[in-house]
Amino acid sequence: MKRRSVALGTCMLALALAGALLAGCSSVGGQSYPSKPIEFVVHTNPGDAIYTFADNASRILTSKKIVTQPMNIVVKSGGSSATAYSYVAGKKVDPYYLLSIQPSALTTPMTQNLEITYKQFTPIANMIGEENVIAVKADSPIKSMKDLVAAAKKEDKSVSMGGTTLGAADSIVTYMIEKEAGVKFNFVSFKSAGESVVAVLGGNVDAVSCNPSEIVGQMQAGTARVLGVASEKQSAFLPNVPTMKEQGLNIVFSSFRGVVMAGDVPADAVKFWQNAFAKLRDDSEWKDTLKTSTSIDQYLDTASFKPYLEEREKFYRQVLTDMGVIK
Amino acid sequence: MPISELMAGFASALTPANLLACFLGAFLGTVTGVLPGIGPAAAMSLLLPVTFGLPPATSLIMLAGIFYGAMYGGSTTSILLNMPGETASMVTCFDGYQMAKKGRAGAALAVSAIGSWVAGTASIVGLMLFAPTLAKAALVLGPAEYFGLALLGVLVLNNLTGDSFLKATAMLLIGLMISTVGPDIISGASRFSFGNQDLMDGIDVIPVLMGLFGLSEVFVGIKEKAAAAEVCKVKFRDLYPTRAEVSRSIWPILRGTAIGFPIGLLPGPAHILSTFISYRIEKGASSHPEEFGHGAIEGVAGPESANNAASTGAMVPLFALGLPFTVQAAIMISALRTHGINPSPLLISQHPEIFWAVIASMYMGNVMLLILNLPLVGVFASLIKTPPPVLLPVITVIMVIGSYSLNGSVFDVWMLLLFGMVGYAMKWVGYPSVPLIIGLVLGPLFEESMMQSLVLARGDLSFFLHRPIATGIFTLTLLVVLWGLVGRSARKAVRGLSVEDGAEMV
Reported as a pLDDT band with limits 50, 70 and 90, residue B174 is very high
- The residue-averaged pLDDT of B411-431 equals 92
- Give the model's pLDDT for residue A218: 87
User: B206-234: per-residue pLDDT in tens?
Assistant: 889 889 988 888 888 888 765 444 443 44
- Give the model's pLDDT for residue A60: 92
- The residue-averaged pLDDT of B376-398 equals 78
Alpha carbon distances (Å) from B224 to B215, B230, B389, B430 = 14, 12, 11, 17
Q: Is a pLDDT exceeding 50 seen at residue B505?
A: no
Burial class (CB in 10 A: 0-12, 13-18, 19+), A15: exposed
Alpha carbon distances (Å) from B365 to B68, B110, B499 = 9, 17, 52
Per-range mean pLDDT, top range of B367-381, B416-430, B484-498 = B416-430
Closest CB to A198: pick one of B139, B340, B344: B139
Choose among A165, A192, A162: nearest CA to A323.
Answer: A165
What's the CA gap between A49 and B105, in Å, rounded?
45
- Bridge-based pairing state of the strands A133-137 and A207-210: antiparallel
Query: Mutate which of B52, B413, B452, B466 to test chain A, going by most A C-beta atoms within 10 A?
Result: B452
- Give the model's pLDDT for residue A5: 64
What's the CA gap between A307 and A118, in Å, rounded?
12
Q: Is A291 on the interface with B (CB under 8 A)?
A: yes
Q: Is a pLDDT exceeding 70 seen at residue B381?
A: no
How far from the centroid of its chain's Cα atoms is residue A47's Cα? Answer: 16
Choose among B451, B475, B460: nearest CA to B144.
Answer: B451
Q: Is B132 on the interface with A (CB under 8 A)?
A: no
Q: Is a pLDDT exceeding 50 seen at residue A266?
A: yes
What's the CA gap between A206 and A199, in Å, rounded?
9
User: A84-116: per-residue pLDDT in tens?
Assistant: 888 898 888 899 999 999 998 888 888 878 888
Reported as a pLDDT band with limits 50, 70 and 90, residue B87 is confident
Eight-class DSSP state of B201: G
Cβ-based contacts of B317 with chain A (< 8 Å): 198
Contact present, B334 and B281 (Cβ < 8 Å):
no
Burial class (CB in 10 A: 0-12, 13-18, 19+), B16: exposed
- Give the model's pLDDT for residue B160: 66
Phi, psi of A262 (to 5 degrees): -65, 165
Q: Is a pLDDT exceeding 60 seen at residue B503?
A: no
Phi, psi of A97 (to 5 degrees): -130, 130
Reported as a pLDDT band with limits 50, 70 and 90, residue B110 is confident
Cβ-based contacts of A205 with chain B (< 8 Å): 456
Contact present, B335 and B48 (Cβ < 8 Å):
yes
Q: Is a pLDDT exceeding 70 seen at residue A30?
A: no
Q: Is A90 on the interface with B (CB under 8 A)?
A: no
> Within 13 A of B90's CA, how many CA atoms are on the CB side?
29
Beta strands in B174-227 (DSSP E): 182-183, 190-191
Give the closest-approach CA distance of A126 to chain B in angstroms. Answer: 22
> Within 13 A of B462's CA, how many CA atoms are on the CB side?
0
Instruction: Give the residue from chain B lying closest to A84, CA to CA.
Output: B197
Give the closest-approach CA distance of A85 to chain B in angstroms. Answer: 11
- Give the model's pLDDT for residue A99: 94
- The residue-averaged pLDDT of A181-185 equals 93
Percentage of residues of chain A with pLDDT beyond 70: 90
Q: Is B140 on the interface with A (CB under 8 A)?
A: yes
DSSP line for B377-397: HHHHHHHTTS-HHHHHHHHHH
Mean model confidence pLDDT for chain B:
83
Contact present, A175 and A201 (Cβ < 8 Å):
no
Give the closest-approach CA distance of B200 to chain A in angstroms. Answer: 5
What's the CA gap between B390 and A92, in Å, rounded?
45
Q: Is A221 on the interface with B (CB under 8 A)?
A: yes
- Give the model's pLDDT for residue B266: 82
Fill in the amino acid letter for A57: A
What's the CA gap between B290 and B303, in Å, rounded?
18
Q: Is B197 on the interface with A (CB under 8 A)?
A: yes
Q: Is a pLDDT exceeding 90 seen at residue B201?
A: no
Beta strands in B130-270 (DSSP E): 182-183, 190-191
Give helix B468-495 / helix B143-157 axis angle, nearest 10°: 20
User: A189-213: per-residue pLDDT in tens?
Assistant: 998 888 899 899 999 999 999 999 8
Contact present, B92 and B79 (Cβ < 8 Å):
yes
Alpha carbon distances (Å) from B30 to B43, B60, B168, B448 = 11, 17, 32, 32
A165/B183 Cβ within 8 A = yes
DSSP line for B142-157: -HHHHHHHHHHHHHHH
What count of other Cβ atoms lies within 10 Å of the Cβ of residue B233? Answer: 6
Q: Is a pLDDT exceeding 70 seen at residue A137?
A: yes
Give the closest-approach CA distance of B452 to chain A in angstroms. Answer: 6
- Give the model's pLDDT for residue B234: 45
Mean model confidence pLDDT for chain A:
86
Q: How many residue pairs from chains A and B have C-beta atoms closer than 8 A?
A: 137
Instruction: Give the residue from chain A lying closest to B453, CA to CA.
Output: A188
More confident residue, A293 or A53: A53
What count of other Cβ atoms lies within 10 Å of the Cβ of residue B503? Answer: 16
Give the closest-approach CA distance of A4 to chain B in angstroms. Answer: 59
User: B262-300: per-residue pLDDT in tens?
Assistant: 888 887 777 788 888 898 888 888 888 888 888 888 889
Give the closest-approach CA distance of B174 to chain A in angstroms. Answer: 23
Instruction: Give the residue from chain A lying closest to B467, CA to CA.
Output: A204
- Give the model's pLDDT for residue A21: 53
Percentage of residues of chain B with pLDDT beyond 70: 91
Give helix A302-323 / helix A103-111 axis angle, nearest 10°: 40
Fill in the amino acid letter for B130: F
Eight-class DSSP state of A36: S
Reported as a pLDDT band with limits 50, 70 and 90, residue B350 is confident
Closest CB to A111: pick one of B188, B197, B458: B188
- Bridge-based pairing state of the strands A186-189 and A160-163: parallel
A55/B458 Cβ within 8 A = no
Cβ-based contacts of B346 with chain A (< 8 Å): 217, 220-221
Contact present, A152 and A184 (Cβ < 8 Å):
yes
Burial B252-285 (b: 16+ CB within 10 A, else e): bbbbbbbbbbbbbbbbbbbbbbbbbbbbbbbbee
Reported as a pLDDT band with limits 50, 70 and 90, residue A35 is confident
What is the three-class DSSP state of A283? coil
- Give the model's pLDDT for residue A24: 46
What's the CA gap between B73 and B304, in Å, rounded?
10
Contact present, B68 and B367 (Cβ < 8 Å):
no
What's the CA gap between B115 and B64, in Å, rounded?
19
> Which residues contact residue B385 at a Cβ distance below 8 angstroms, ignoring those fewer than 6 apart?
B229, B231
What's the CA gap between B311 and B323, in Å, rounded?
15
ipTM over cut 0.85: no
- Give the model's pLDDT for residue B502: 46
**CA atoms B144, B146, B147, B148: torsion sign:** positive
pTM of the model: 0.82
DSSP line for B397-410: HHHHHHHHHHHT-H
- The residue-averaged pLDDT of A146-163 equals 92
Fill in the amino acid letter for B165: F
What's the CA gap between B386 and B56, in Å, rounded?
42
Cβ-based contacts of A325 with chain B (< 8 Å): 187-188
Q: Poorest-confidence range of B119-128, B429-438, B484-493?
A: B484-493
Q: Is A323 on the interface with B (CB under 8 A)?
A: no
Q: Is B190 on the interface with A (CB under 8 A)?
A: yes
Reported as a pLDDT band with limits 50, 70 and 90, residue B415 is very high
B347/A220 Cβ within 8 A = no
